[in-house]
Amino acid sequence: MQFTRRSILSVVGASALMPGVAWADSGSLPATETQRSIGAATAPVTIMEFFSLTCTHCAEFGTVTMPQVKPKLVDTGKLRIVYHDFPLDQVALKAAQVARYLPVDEYYPFIEALFASQNDWAFQQGEDYHASIFKYAALAGMDQATYDKAWNDMALAKWILAGQKEAETTYKINATPSFVLNGKTYPGAMDYQDFAALIAKAAGG
């Protein structure tokens, strides 16, 4: 089935949302619903990022700011980033489902690859999103059968949308990207200087 931008999130319907299950990280959950993050669990600062794979501002943060954040803050043990899906449309939802079917260590490289190539797969008129996203999933090592399973996993779609609704309620998320640090929400694709200053302040430095 070829999706278009008119096929918005109504495919699963608001009645399908399941509040309260979105952010648990438990051995009883399916692997697709466990936490996705980068950085050491012992990092002094943890920030949550709410993003949509079809958001141009998220792509800007991912391709301009993150290449500085990761080596300077994440890889040095200063910061942990926990990712939360906040899909703005049906295409982003499907891409998020696929990302969560990849091994945990392939999650971040995959979403960064999608951000880097966003103009190629997300915004072409008449694009066959099912086929275009698969090209990147295949490069990450996903076979066609797994890809189709991810694409059609309605339980995962409902779980992602439940998390989105919970984020709207709990953290007042209404734009992407948005970051939550110590319970406070910071919307917008910050540049490295502003982001690093925020992290330094949270770390007490």
pLDDT of residue 27: 59
pLDDT of residue 205: 61
pLDDT of residue 18: 33
pTM exceeding 0.85? yes
What are the extents of the domains in the chain? 37-202
Going residue by residue through the chain, which has 205 residues, state the pLDDT in tens, using 9 for 90 and above: 333 333 334 334 433 333 333 344 445 889 999 999 999 999 999 999 999 999 999 999 999 999 999 999 999 999 999 999 999 999 999 999 999 999 999 999 999 999 999 999 998 888 899 999 999 999 999 999 999 999 999 999 999 999 999 999 999 999 999 999 999 999 999 999 999 999 999 998 6
pLDDT of residue 17: 34
User: What is the distance of C-alpha 17 from the center of its chain?
Assistant: 18
Torsion sign over Cα 171, 172, 178, 184: negative
pLDDT of residue 67: 98
Query: How big is the CA angle at 15 (ends 184 and 128), to the nearest 5 degrees?
Result: 85
> In this structure, are residues 9 and 158 in contact, taking their beta carbons and an 8 Å threshold?
no
Q: What kind of fold does domain 37-202 have according to CATH?
A: Glutaredoxin (3.40.30)
